[in-house]
Structure 1
Amino acid sequence: MPAETAQPKTKTALPSWKDGPAKQAILDFVATATTAGQGFIPLADRIATFDNDGTLWSEQPLPAQFDFVFRKWGEEVKGDPSLASTQPYKALVESDMAFFAGVGTQDPATIEALLNAFIRSWAGTTPDEFDAEVRAWLATVKQPKFGVPYTELVYKPMLELIEFLTAHDFRVFVCSGGGRDFMRVFAEETWGIYKENIIGTAAGYRYSDGVIVRAAEGLGGLDLGPGKPEHIFAHTGRLPVFAAGNGDVDIEMLESAAFALVINHDDDEREFAYTTGAEKTVELAADHGWTVVSIKDDWSNVYGSSPAA
């Protein structure tokens, strides 16, 4: 077992982060958490959680999983035109993006419709069948602004942060409103995070005759708002001590942590500039002492080797 009083490895830490208050706040927190004395955090409690969309990779002009499911739902409507009269298929056919904006505001009607559609689309499929669909999408679809696969638009500074925390004996989890099983397909090769450390909106499963398949019901509701700390605790038995997010659906997770990191999207040249869906988070950050990261000012590199670096 590693020594609980090991000194932080900061000499080459976070190379894509510019020197400044945000980087220093991270270094200071980790130093305190891993050094004997006031603020020391035992190994067992070193839980770090990261939102995905807008925190680990770009979520504009549309979260990546929406691209994936919209294509699936479009095929389903072609096969059964009657679906076009019900949500969320109706909003998709009519290009009614205001309906899908209800995810950010946690509108009950939007959330219920999306959950029902997610469940319907893949109920009865095996994990291998679902994984194959996601991998085919990853291999063929490109993000519209940059023209590269979505997995090339993971933020390099956040990968460095995950590596830094892991090196100091934090257990890192992704906690996203997106589909748990969707993220698990690429989590290990893209983020270096094991499948079992992915928390998200999930389907139930049934095991029968030697085969496990997706059930016709969800598991615990959407992983948004209060659902995030609830799901984190259900999964780990603890609340996080370090949490990173970027939107209003992350507020409860950020509030539950000793150290909260907020990604501020303010770089339209290298990424995107927007505050939609994060207005309350920005307002609360100052009151709660959360560390706000400016992509424009705090990151020397955004995507690593991608064209948008």
Structure 2
Amino acid sequence: MDGSRLRSWNDGEAKRSIVEFVTTAATEGASGFIPAADRVAVFDNDGTLWVERPAPVQSDFVLGKLAARLKADPSLARKQPYRAIASKDDSFLRALSTEDPDAVTSFVEAIGSAWEGTTFGEFETEAERHLASWRHERFGLPATGLVYQPMLELFDYLRAYGWRLFVCSGGGRDFMRVICEETWGLPRENVIGSAPEFAYRDGVLVRRAVLHGPVALGPGKPEYVLARTGRLPRFAAGNDDVDVEMLESAQFALLVVHDDDEREYAYTGGAERARATAERCGWTTVSVKNDWNAVLEERPIQEEPSASRQ
């Protein structure tokens, strides 16, 4: 088995490095052999698996909810992210798009409060309804159409060699789980992200405003991966500074570089440390412009929310 599965990848150093690592890891007796149980691959989501500009996909869903809360209670404008919503502060959205830890933390905390007391099913129904109608402002695609085709091929390639795949994102775990099975082919338990605590009340589980552990950024990423899998990743992929620690924890690190403003977006904000670390440590870097001959391929999304959950 060779790299022919990676059809959207141009022949070059990035593709060759991936193929060499993956095939060697599956070859018993090779110096780079990795036992099947240890073949854990972890991917960041925003900017690594799908388009994150002009803002992460989840942003519109959450901002709509928070705007409604602010309208009902203007006193919320004293703190972030409500202050940014009230003043139409675009700098806060830019901070979110680069996954600035302070902005993401305040955002995640606001999410916790906004959905406090709702059931698991109620949250998912809201998310499904939003995703069914939401379209990207530039591409006109639904969220599932924003997933990078080369990364879906990489998922299939790794699976063929016995790798277990996980997504670890600073974004909301429960939001990603709405589309993970149909979009990435990943079971829900393989999605790791920032999430609330749940409480069992009157026979159902409801969301609490308290975060379950730290936000899944920076050091939080390998911490969550270890807690979830009992192992650190052997293969990790990310695209910006909040992925550095996860990439450092892996045997093979893949850094996506956004440099194609025709087919996607070209930007460096929030990835300066990641790029410097990649150069220093010899990570494999992926140029969207030069290493991918295709970027997006639309995937269908479930149109109607499920009525089977609580």
Regarding TM over 0.5, the answer is yes
The 5 A counterparts of 1:252-263 are 252-263=245-256
> Which whole-Å CA distance do the structure 1 matches of 2:284 and 2:278 have between them?
7
Q: Which residue does 1:269 correspond to in 2? A: 262
Once the two structures are TM-superposed, the CA of residue 156 in structure 1 deviates from its matched residue by 0.4
Q: CA deviation at 1:151?
A: 1.6
The answer to whether 1:24 aligns with 2:16 is: yes
Map 1:69-80; keep pairs closer than 5 Å: 69-80=62-73
Higher mean C-alpha deviation, range 70-79 or range 165-174: 70-79
Alignment of 1:6-45 (within 5 A): 9-10=1-2, 12-36=4-28, 37-45=30-38
Change in CA separation of 1:96 and 1:44 when aligned onto 2, cut-off 3 Å? same
Measure how far apart 1:236 and its partner are. 0.7
Give distance in 2, aligned partners of 1:142 and 1:105.
21
- Alignment correspondent of 1:216: 209
Return the match for 2:54 from 36, 61, 64. Answer: 61
Name the counterpart of 2:91: 98
Matched residue, 1:5? none
Q: What are structure 2's unaligned runs of at least 5 residues?
A: 300-310
**Distance in structure 1 (CA, Å) of the matches to 2:218 and 2:83:** 26
User: Structure 1 segments of 4 or more deviating over 3 A?
Assistant: 99-108
User: When the two structures are superposed, what TM-score results if normalisation uses the length of structure 1?
Assistant: 0.92
User: Secondary structure of 1:200's partner?
Assistant: strand
Q: TM-score, normalised by structure 2?
A: 0.92
Q: Distance in 2 between matches of 1:300 and 1:197?
A: 28
Rounded Cα–Cα distance in structure 2 between residues aligned with 1:145 and 1:156: 18
Q: What secondary structure does 1:12 align onto?
A: helix
| CA distance in 1 between partners of 2:31 and 2:296 (Å) | 36
**Distance in 1 of aligned mates of 2:139 and 2:99:** 28
Determine the structure 2 residue equivalent to 1:146. 139
Are the structure 2 counterparts of residues 112 and 165 from structure 1 closer, same or farther at C-alpha, using a change threshold of 3 Å?
closer
C-alpha displacement of 1:63: 0.6
Instruction: Tell me how far apart the structure 2 counterparts of residues 18 and 105 of structure 1 sit (CA, whole Å).
Output: 29
Distance in 2 between residues matched to 1:16 and 1:112, nearest whole Å: 35
Aligned mates of 1:34, 1:146 — CA distance in 2: 39
Aligned mates of 2:226, 2:80 — CA distance in 1: 32
Helix, strand or coil: the match of 1:175?
strand
Choose the corresponding residue for 1:182, options 171, 175, 180.
Answer: 175
Paired residues in the alignment total 297
* Paired residue secondary structure (1:267): coil
Q: Whole-Å Cα distance in 2 between the matches of residues 116 and 97 of structure 1?
A: 19
**What displacement does 1:276 show?**
0.6
1:68-120 alpha-carbon deviations (Å, 9 max, x no partner): 11111111111212212221101122122333555547454x45432321110
1:242 to 235, 239, 258: 235
Amino acid at match of 1:32: T
Gaps of 5+ in 1: 1-8
Q: Distance in 2 between matches of 1:261 and 1:288?
A: 11
Q: 1:302 to 1:63 in 2, by over 3 A?
A: same
Q: Percent identity?
A: 53
Q: What is the one-letter code of the residue matched to 2:15?
A: K
2: CA distance, partners of 1:174 / 1:205: 21
Distance verdict in 2 for CA 1:237–1:116, change over 3 Å: same
Q: CA deviation at 1:33?
A: 0.5
- Equivalents in 2 of 1:196, 1:96: separation in Å? 36
1:231 to 219, 224, 227: 224
